[in-house]
């Protein structure tokens, strides 16, 4: 017999209260109390996060990738300083499988945030280096210096 069966097979008990004083003798006896049946376990409600995921495509995309066990990362926002557009910040979201992938690739940190920040800095550094290499390889942007003697330099 399971736990739920013990509650549902319990017999109903009735109790009749008998008045104990003359004042209460004029009153009608209270109706017998019936044992109440236990409520069936409530069906699990959808967590609020689930409801938000249905509305938020980024959260849905992240949860689907996580359910498949795949690394997932996305830039979900960019903030720029209105006074200096060269300054700003990126808002990045990721799942635990992405952090695992970075850890396997050699990134280290005390927190997931540290590991992802290291990765993002590497990405930015690689972009800057690629632009620099393209600049250096382009002869139209190259400055040629030639020592012509006497403490003088020719720049072309």
Domain ranges of the chain: 56-137
Query: Number of helices and strands (H, E) in the chain?
Result: 6, 4
How big is the chain by its Cα radius of gyration, in Å?
37
pLDDT of residue 153: 84
Per-residue pLDDT of the chain (156 residues; tens, 9 = 90+): 443 333 333 333 434 444 444 444 455 555 555 544 555 555 555 555 555 545 689 999 999 999 999 999 999 999 999 999 889 999 999 999 999 999 999 999 999 999 999 999 999 999 999 988 887 777 666 677 788 888 888 876
Q: Cβ distance 12 to 35 under 8 Å?
A: yes
The burial of 95, by beta-carbon neighbours within 10 Å (0-12 exposed, 13-18 middle, 19 or more buried), is given as buried
Question: Phi first, then psi: what are they for 102, rounded to 5°?
Answer: -65, -40
* Cα–Cα distance measured from residue 24 to residue 119, given in angstroms and rounded to the nearest whole number: 81
pLDDT of residue 132: 84
Q: Which H or E element spans position 39?
A: none
pLDDT tens across 38-70, in order? Answer: 555 555 555 555 555 456 899 999 999 999 999
Q: What is the pTM of this model?
A: 0.53
């Amino acid at each position: 017999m399971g736990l739920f069966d013990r509650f549902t097979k319990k017999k109903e008990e009735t109790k009749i209260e008998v008045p104990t004083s003359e004042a209460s003798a004029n009153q009608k006896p209270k109706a017998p109390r019936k044992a109440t049946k236990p409520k069936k376990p409530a069906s699990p409600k959808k967590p609020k996060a689930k409801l938000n995921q249905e509305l938020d495509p980024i959260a849905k995309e992240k949860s689907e990738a996580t359910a498949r066990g795949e690394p997932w990362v996305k830039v979900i926002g960019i903030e720029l300083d209105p006074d200096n557009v060269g300054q700003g910040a990126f808002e990045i979201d990721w799942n635990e499988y992405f952090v695992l992938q970075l850890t396997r690739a050699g990134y280290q940190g005390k927190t997931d945030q540290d590991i992802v920040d290291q990765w993002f800095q590497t990405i930015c550094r690689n972009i800057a280096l690629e632009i620099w290499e393209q600049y250096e390889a382009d002869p139209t942007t190259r400055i040629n210096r030639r020592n012509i003697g006497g403490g003088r330099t020719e720049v072309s």
